[in-house]
Amino acid sequence: MNADTSMDLSLLGAAEAASALAEGRISSEELVAACLERIKIDEERVQAWTYIDPEYALSQARAVDLMRREGKALGPLHGLPVGIKDIIDTEDMPTEDGTVLHTGRTPSEDATLVSMLRAAGAIIMGKTVTTELATYSPGKTRNPINPEHTPGGSSSGSAAAVAARMVPLAIGTQTNGSVIRPAAYCGVVGYKPSFGLISRHGVLKQSRPLDQIGVMARSVEDVALLAEQLIGYDENDPDTRPRARPKLREIAMQEPPLPPTLAFVKSPIWKQADAQCRDAFAELTAHLGERVEEFKLPDGFKNAWKWQQTIMEADLAKNFEPEYQNGRDKLSETLRSQIERGRKVRAVDYNKALDQIPALNSALNHLFELRYEAIITPATAGTAPKGLESTGSPAFCTLWTLCGLPAITLPLMQGEDGLPLGVQLVGPRGSDARLLRTARWLLAQVQSD
Amino acid sequence: MNADTSMDLSLLGAAEAASALAEGRISSEELVAACLERIKIDEERVQAWTYIDPEYALSQARAVDLMRREGKALGPLHGLPVGIKDIIDTEDMPTEDGTVLHTGRTPSEDATLVSMLRAAGAIIMGKTVTTELATYSPGKTRNPINPEHTPGGSSSGSAAAVAARMVPLAIGTQTNGSVIRPAAYCGVVGYKPSFGLISRHGVLKQSRPLDQIGVMARSVEDVALLAEQLIGYDENDPDTRPRARPKLREIAMQEPPLPPTLAFVKSPIWKQADAQCRDAFAELTAHLGERVEEFKLPDGFKNAWKWQQTIMEADLAKNFEPEYQNGRDKLSETLRSQIERGRKVRAVDYNKALDQIPALNSALNHLFELRYEAIITPATAGTAPKGLESTGSPAFCTLWTLCGLPAITLPLMQGEDGLPLGVQLVGPRGSDARLLRTARWLLAQVQSD
């Protein structure tokens, strides 16, 4: 049936695979089989999955192959396997939220985003490991680049599975730094769209003003392809809005009309960046020359981390109250402390913290309007820390997540330990397509050396 | 210039006046002069205004008259005087919020809704009295029907001014019952649109999830005419949404395709209704016969008043913190206590209360989908209480305001004390035009006797 089966199809990016599928050069069954083969080889070492049923994945693939042969391809993701973080409801697989308290939980409905994936023809490959209730306490996943290191969290399994070529695409979520951090640690592209673009209905709720959906893949084009299918209004998520679907992929693939200028924002927590991160950014910004200018945020920004903590912990306390009331002995000490701090937060302080978000955004808008196409800043304080007892710090993502800005991490650099070091670009809220275009431009600047 | 000047133009409703203006039968200057004459006669007794400059009102009127003569009429409110509650910013008049703490406050910008009024050609007649920071402590206004009775609050001056024919139209706000209650007490039509339809940018903030703008006039057509010009998306009010402007007036003037069935909801606080209110409703529902059915809300609804209090007091504590910190000795004892209770509310309890809103709404949607076009229920527990030390109870509005449902009060009945008794209709969220249509239908049922 095709000429490409001699190659390992797990090497294909999503966009490449989509073309090969559309042109009949490969079948979804072959692609899924190649990914399953990667899982078979590497899963014991990586531990990215909490639920996978190879036969069921193949049967979905055969079904979409049949549809395609009948001229009924569903959408741009037709035949592409996608890994789903295990806090996102699936009607045909368990969703256990990374806690023994939810063992055996079987939702009766797909999350909105899972329905949208199916409507676009995607194969729901399985459920990827998350940390405990998508907070800090690690799951079993290891970093595929070096299994002695953390893959990051909380979308640990999604990042590791994409890095290990077990799937070309995966879905994560970010309340603080849970898409960008694991993507950076595992050396893949992680993209967290602007707040409110992707519905969170059917996704474990940590914090309504902070929770955001993100995607992972191995190229900018691939994250654009995936995210574009997920963006849309959902009356079940009150923070989504009716609006035209942005042409993420088309615009991402264009050249910027003028060479962009980037603002290098060290951020008020720059002292947390380790030596190899600082050195790498010094080198990178030197290389970019006049295309990048250091920009110091006003002093008020240093409180953002505290405001985020106030909001997040108060919301964890409310949303995880059933788990706390009925099974606090089965929660990690870290999460229990977060909840206990959160229970004490006063409504006035919570709401004052929330009120800061538009104020921070308006200061950042000023930066973007001034002359900068995007902010360039580390994705993490350094490469993935050694050991599996922590998922590393989300601090370099906190501010942007709090503000709901679109962010992408690119695996542009490497530490002396051989592990990837992510470069994060952050754009104005709602200008997602332009951010992806700038990301591809940046890749070209660095890779053309 | 016209044939109508022998009549008292203050008797005209807004829609009638708009026609007379459009046809050149009267001028805005004449209309405004007639309203000013009413103010001259009755203001000492009623005390509806906190700021009015007759010459400035007349100069606005002459300016729009000139525009009309030049063929440049601005919109459906061209030449109509509107009273503005004194918590709504106006760039050309003080906005003092009913507290000595804000004496002399002069905003530099119009509230969005004031800009919209001007864009539709309205005359900003002056600022109407509000209670202290739009909460419970009364202003100076008296009920025009009987000055020994309260006009209700917090939109006291707006209701009284419309009732006393000082203006055909006025703007109020409602966080609990501050449009419907004074309108009912003063015997005018009060309409509070669905949450999020009218921007609150430039309006004193009490509580983001509760604050809503409302309008007052002397007919359903007139409230429709006014509200329709105010509805719209405003990026400065995060709870407004881009959507098509509903055709309030056109639909309000239509006959319902089928005779509607109303749900008579006594509400869990029915015991607060006084004897004359109960009797009047017994008579009204008997008169409406099979067009009305009593409907008992599920038990869970009885907690709604407590949830509303949790949200409102926590938000008052946050939003009035500067007033509390810098001038608590100048706040009323009532407001000080509210703020002090609010300061103690925990974020988890605040957010749990907020979470009840969609739950209550979905139960109410069930009622509307079942067979009922609207809920019929008292606007207040009885007629306006005697005395000026209180503005009466908002309790019969609390549930609907909390749920963000559109509500309208009609001056359909009278108490034995000769004071008006409002009949409140409440519709499904977003179905404002149909609610107004049902209100006109109800008027016809009662007035055709």
Cα(B252)–Cα(B225) distance, integer angstroms: 10
- Asked if residues A60 and A74 have their Cβ atoms less than 8 Å apart, the reply is no
Which region, left, alpha or beta, applies to residue A375 given φ > 0 means left and ψ of -120 to 50 means alpha?
A: beta
The label of the residue with tokens 């951010």 reads A435
Cα(B172)–Cα(B136) distance, integer angstroms: 15
What are the chain A neighbours of B322 within 8 Å (beta carbons)? none
Interface touch B350/A352, C-beta < 8 Å: no
Distance from CA of A336 to the nearest CA of B (A): 15
| Segment A274-283 long-range contacts (CB within 8 Å, at least 24 positions apart) | A274/A381, A274/A382, A276/A382, A276/A383, A276/A415, A276/A416, A276/A417, A276/A421, A277/A378, A277/A380, A277/A381, A277/A382, A277/A383, A277/A415, A277/A421, A280/A413, A280/A415, A280/A421, A281/A378
Q: Which of A241, A343, A352 sits opposite B346 (nearest CB)?
A: A343
Query: Which regions in chain A score pLDDT beneath 50?
Result: 1-4
Mean pLDDT over B283-304 rounds to: 95
Token output for B300: 């869970």
In a domain, B244, yes or no: no
CA-based Rg of chain A, rounded to a whole angstrom? 21
What are the chain B neighbours of A238 within 8 Å (beta carbons)? 358
Residues B233 and B345 in one domain: no
In a domain, A25, yes or no: no
Q: Does B351 touch chain A (CB under 8 A)?
A: yes
Q: Which of A238, A242, A350 sits opposite B350 (nearest CB)?
A: A350
Residues B79 and B176 in one domain: yes
Residues B321 and B230 in one domain: no
Predicted local confidence at residue B5, as pLDDT: 53
C-alpha A347 chain-centroid distance: 30
For chain B, the first-to-last Cα distance in angstroms comes to: 40
Q: Does A348 touch chain B (CB under 8 A)?
A: yes
Residues B215 and B349 in one domain: no
In a domain, A62, yes or no: no
β-partners of residue B409 are: B190, B424
Q: Does B235 touch chain A (CB under 8 A)?
A: no
Residues B233 and B288 in one domain: no
Predicted local confidence at residue B449, as pLDDT: 55
Q: Measuring CA to CA, which residue among A409, A441, A414 is closest to residue A425?
A: A409
In a domain, A56, yes or no: no
In a domain, A100, yes or no: yes
Secondary structure class of A386 (helix, strand, coil): strand
Predicted local confidence at residue A449, as pLDDT: 55
The label of the residue with tokens 């603002």 reads A263
Predicted local confidence at residue B42, as pLDDT: 98
Interface touch A345/B343, C-beta < 8 Å: no
Number of CB pairs, chain A paired with chain B, less than 8 A apart: 62
Interface touch A350/B349, C-beta < 8 Å: no
Predicted local confidence at residue B1, as pLDDT: 45
Say which residues have a Cβ less than 8 Å from residue B257's Cβ, sequence separation at least 6: none
Q: Does B266 touch chain A (CB under 8 A)?
A: no
Cα(A277)–Cα(A413) distance, integer angstroms: 9
Cα(B303)–Cα(B308) distance, integer angstroms: 9
Q: Measuring CA to CA, which residue among B200, B188, B176 is closest to residue B114?
A: B200
Secondary structure class of A156 (helix, strand, coil): helix
For B159-173, the DSSP string reads HHHHHTTS-SEEEEE
Interface touch A241/B243, C-beta < 8 Å: no
Q: Which of residues 242-261 of A touch B (CB under 8 A)?
A: 242-243
Phi, psi of A399 (to 5 degrees): -60, -45
Q: What is the DSSP letter of B416?
A: T
- The pTM is what? 0.92
What type of residue sits at position A182? P
What are the chain B neighbours of A358 within 8 Å (beta carbons)? 238
Residues B135 and B280 in one domain: no
The label of the residue with tokens 């001014």 reads B161
Token output for B385: 């209480």
Residues of A designated catalytic: 85, 154, 178
Residues B197 and B100 in one domain: yes
CA-based Rg of chain B, rounded to a whole angstrom? 21
Token output for B193: 């649109």
Residues B228 and B300 in one domain: no
Q: Cβ of A346: how many Cβ atoms within 10 Å?
A: 21
Interface touch A342/B348, C-beta < 8 Å: yes
In a domain, B2, yes or no: no
Angle between helices A156-163 and A28-46 (to 10 degrees): 120
Is the confidence at residue B172, as pLDDT, over 80?
Answer: yes
Q: Which of A242, A348, A358 sits opposite B318 (nearest CB)?
A: A348
The label of the residue with tokens 């788990």 reads A323
CATH of the domain at B39: 3.90.1300.10
Is the confidence at residue B348, as pLDDT, over 60?
Answer: yes
For strands B262-264 and B292-294, give the pairing: parallel
Give residue B359's domain range.
262-447
What are the chain B neighbours of A195 within 8 Å (beta carbons)? none
B192-243 pLDDT tens trace: 999 999 999 999 999 999 999 999 999 999 999 999 999 999 999 999 988 8
- Asked if residues A368 and A420 have their Cβ atoms less than 8 Å apart, the reply is no
Secondary structure class of A123 (helix, strand, coil): strand
How big is the CA angle at A407 (ends A405 and A411), to the nearest 5 degrees?
170
Predicted local confidence at residue A105, as pLDDT: 98
In a domain, A16, yes or no: no
What are the chain B neighbours of A352 within 8 Å (beta carbons)? 318
Residues B43 and B187 in one domain: yes
Q: Does A69 touch chain B (CB under 8 A)?
A: no
B306 is catalytic: no
Residues B287 and B398 in one domain: yes
B154 is catalytic: yes
Q: Measuring CA to CA, which residue among B176, B413, B242 is closest to residue A430?
A: B242
What are the chain B neighbours of A342 within 8 Å (beta carbons)? 347-348
Distance from CA of A333 to the nearest CA of B (A): 20
C-alpha A150 chain-centroid distance: 16
B249-286 pLDDT tens trace: 999 999 999 999 999 999 899 999 999 999 999 999 99
Annotate A73-97 with b (16+ C-beta within 10 A) or e (fewer): beebbbbbbbbbbbbbbbbebbbbb
Catalytic residue selected from B137, B154, B194, B219:
B154
- Asked if residues B134 and B111 have their Cβ atoms less than 8 Å apart, the reply is no
Distance from CA of B357 to the nearest CA of A (A): 12
Predicted local confidence at residue A447, as pLDDT: 83
Q: Does B430 touch chain A (CB under 8 A)?
A: no
Q: Does A323 touch chain B (CB under 8 A)?
A: no
Q: Does A241 touch chain B (CB under 8 A)?
A: yes
In a domain, A165, yes or no: yes
Best of A233, A319, A348 to disrupt the B interface (most B CBs within 10 Å) is: A348
Distance from CA of A98 to the nearest CA of B (A): 23
Mean pLDDT over B312-340 rounds to: 97
Instruction: Quote the ipTM score.
Output: 0.89
Give the total number of structural domains in chain B.
2
Residues B125 and B224 in one domain: yes
Say which residues have a Cβ less than 8 Å from residue A194's Cβ, sequence separation at least 6: A404, A405, A406, A429, A430, A431, A432
- Asked if residues A256 and A438 have their Cβ atoms less than 8 Å apart, the reply is yes
Residues B267 and B197 in one domain: no
Q: Does A318 touch chain B (CB under 8 A)?
A: yes
